[in-house]
Structure 1
C-alpha cells in the first residue's frame, strides 16, 4: 500500500519585510500630544537663541546639531537606506519641516513677538488637514470635522492676530510661507510614517540637508556676530534636539497611529501653550481673552477628535 506523505511535507513560508510596530490609538494621541507640547516651546526657544546668534546662524546651527544626532542614530542602529519610492516624500519633509519652517519663522521672529507668531500654529491644523484631504484620499474626515476645525482655527487666529493689532507686515508673509511649508511636510511625513518608523522619517530628512546646513553654518557664523549666553545656548539646544528631532519623532509616530487630520487638530492647543511660555519665559503680557479662548479651543479639539473617529 502506498503511504501518503503529504502531511509530512511542510508548507513553504513566505517572509515579508518587517513592518514598523504601530502605536495604539490612545498611544498615538499621547505621542502626538507630546509632540505638540515640544513644539509649543519652539518659538520661545528661537527667541532665546536669537539673543546670542544671528537668524541665519540660528537656523543652520539648529539643523547641523539635529542632523548629527539623527545621523549618529541611523549609523548606530544600522538602518538601511530608504527606498527609492520614499525619496520624493522625504524631499518634501526636508524642504518643508527641516528647512522651510525653521528658516521662515526665525526670520519672522526678528520683528514679531512669539505670541503673534503663534498664529501660524493656530492655522496649521486646518492647513494640514486640508492638504491631507486634497493629496491623500484616505485622509478625508467626516463633514462634522470641518466646521469644528474651522471654528478652532478662527478662534486661535483671531486671538493671536488681535494681540498685534491685525496689521500684516513682512513677518506675516514669512509666517504664511512657514505655515504652507510645514503643512506639506507634516502631510508627507505622516504618510511615510505608516510604512517606516517616524524617527527615521525626520532623521533621513535631516541627514539629507547636512551638505547644505554645514557649509551654511560656517558662512553664517563668519558673517553674523555671535555672542553666546546661557539663554541663547539653551534655546539653540532645545530647538535643535527637541523641536527639530525628538518632537518630530513622536509627532510622526502619533500621526501614523491616529491619522494626519485627527493628529493635526491637537495642535489647536499649541498657540495657547506658546502664549503661556511667552509670559512665563519671555515676560510678554497676555491679553485678558486668554482663558475664554483656551476654553473655546478645548471644545473644538473635543469635537474634532470625536468626529475623526
Structure 2
C-alpha cells in the first residue's frame, strides 16, 4: 500500500498543476478579450461624438451623455439591489468620476470642435503609456524592461505621426487632448485598482451615480443656453446614445473587468490599437481622408502590442 500511495501521489500533483495552469491561461484570455471589447467600444467614441455635435453643442452633449449613462447605471444598481460601496472606496470612485465621466468627455468634445477625429485619435494613442506610468506610481507595479521599451516605441510612433500631421505645431485642440490624456489615465488606473475589490461594472456605475446630482442640472442649464435649437437628426441621436450607453457605460464595464484580470499596464497597451480602429471608423462613418502615414503607424503599433502582451509585467 505504501508503494502504491507513493506512486500515485506525484501523478495527483501533476494533474493539479496542469489544471491550475489551464485555469490561469483561460482567465488571462478572458480578461484580454474583455479589455479588447472595451477598446472597440472606445474607438467609436470620437466618430459618435462628431455625429452628436451635428445636433448638440459641446456642453449639452457632455451633460446629456453623463446624465443618460448615470440613469442607466442607477437602474442597474437598483434592479440588482447592489449595496453601497464601503467608505474606503468613495475616494477612488471620485477620481474615476472626475477623470472618466467628466474630464475626458468634456476635454475631447471641446477639442473635436476644431480637430478631426483621425487627428484626435492618434493623439489619444499616448493613453496606454500614460496609464502605465500612473499605474506604476499609484499601485507600485514594476513592468519588465521589454514592456517599457515596447510601450515607449509605440508612444514615439504616435507622437511622430501627430507632429507630422499637425505641421510641427501644437494647437489648442492638442493641448485639450493632452489634458484629457492625463485625467483619463488617472481615472483608468484608479478604476482598475478598484475593480480588483469590487465588480468592474459597479466601479463605473457608482462613479456615474456620483455625477448624477451635477449632471441633471447641468443638462438643463446647457440645453437652455444653446444658441440654436437642438437638432435631433439620425446622426446626432445615434451619436448621443452611443457615447452614453456604449462608451460611457458598457465599454467601461468590460474594460475595468479586463484590467482587473490581466492588470492595468498590460490592458492599457491594448489601447495602442484604438487610434487605428478610430481611423477606420473616421473614414467609413465620417468620410474623413486617411492620412498617408497611417499604415506605417499601424504596423509599428501592432508590433508594440504584440511585444507588450508577451512581456511579463
Tell me the TM-score normalised to structure 1 length.
0.91
CA distance in 2 between partners of 1:295 and 1:240 (Å)? 32
Unaligned runs of 5+ in 1: 1-21
2:300 is the alignment partner of 1:296: yes
Is the 1:121–1:268 contact (alpha carbons within 8 Å) kept by the matching residues of 2?
no
1:164 Cα deviation (Å)? 2.9
1:121 Cα deviation (Å)? 2.5
Q: Secondary structure of 1:24's partner?
A: helix
Instruction: Determine which of 56, 64, 70 is the counterpart of 1:61.
Output: 64
Is the 2:122–2:275 contact (alpha carbons within 8 Å) kept by the matching residues of 1?
yes
CA distance in 2 between partners of 1:166 and 1:267 (Å)? 25
The runs of 4+ residues in structure 1 deviating greater than 4 Å are none
Unaligned runs of 5+ in 2: 1-23
Q: What residue in structure 2 maps to residue 43 of structure 1? A: 46
CA distance in 2 between partners of 1:89 and 1:96 (Å)? 11
Instruction: Determine which of 258, 263, 268 is the counterpart of 1:264.
Output: 268
1:143 Cα deviation (Å)? 1.3
1:270 Cα deviation (Å)? 0.3
Is the 2:124–2:177 contact (alpha carbons within 8 Å) kept by the matching residues of 1?
no
More helix per residue: 2
CA distance in 1 between partners of 2:70 and 2:153 (Å)? 37
1:237 Cα deviation (Å)? 0.3
Is the 1:119–1:161 contact (alpha carbons within 8 Å) kept by the matching residues of 2?
no
CA distance in 1 between partners of 2:115 and 2:168 (Å)? 12
Q: Please provide the CA RMSD for this pair.
A: 1.2
CA distance in 1 between partners of 2:47 and 2:163 (Å)? 18
1:153 Cα deviation (Å)? 1.2
CA distance in 1 between partners of 2:292 and 2:120 (Å)? 18
Q: Secondary structure of 2:232's partner?
A: coil
Q: What residue in structure 2 maps to residue 255 of structure 1? A: 259
CA distance in 1 between partners of 2:283 and 2:152 (Å)? 27
Q: Secondary structure of 1:274's partner?
A: helix
Q: How many residues in Structure 1 have an aligned counterpart in Structure 2?
A: 287
1:170 Cα deviation (Å)? 1.3
Comparing 37-46 with 219-228, greater Cα deviation is found at 219-228
Q: Secondary structure of 1:285's partner?
A: coil
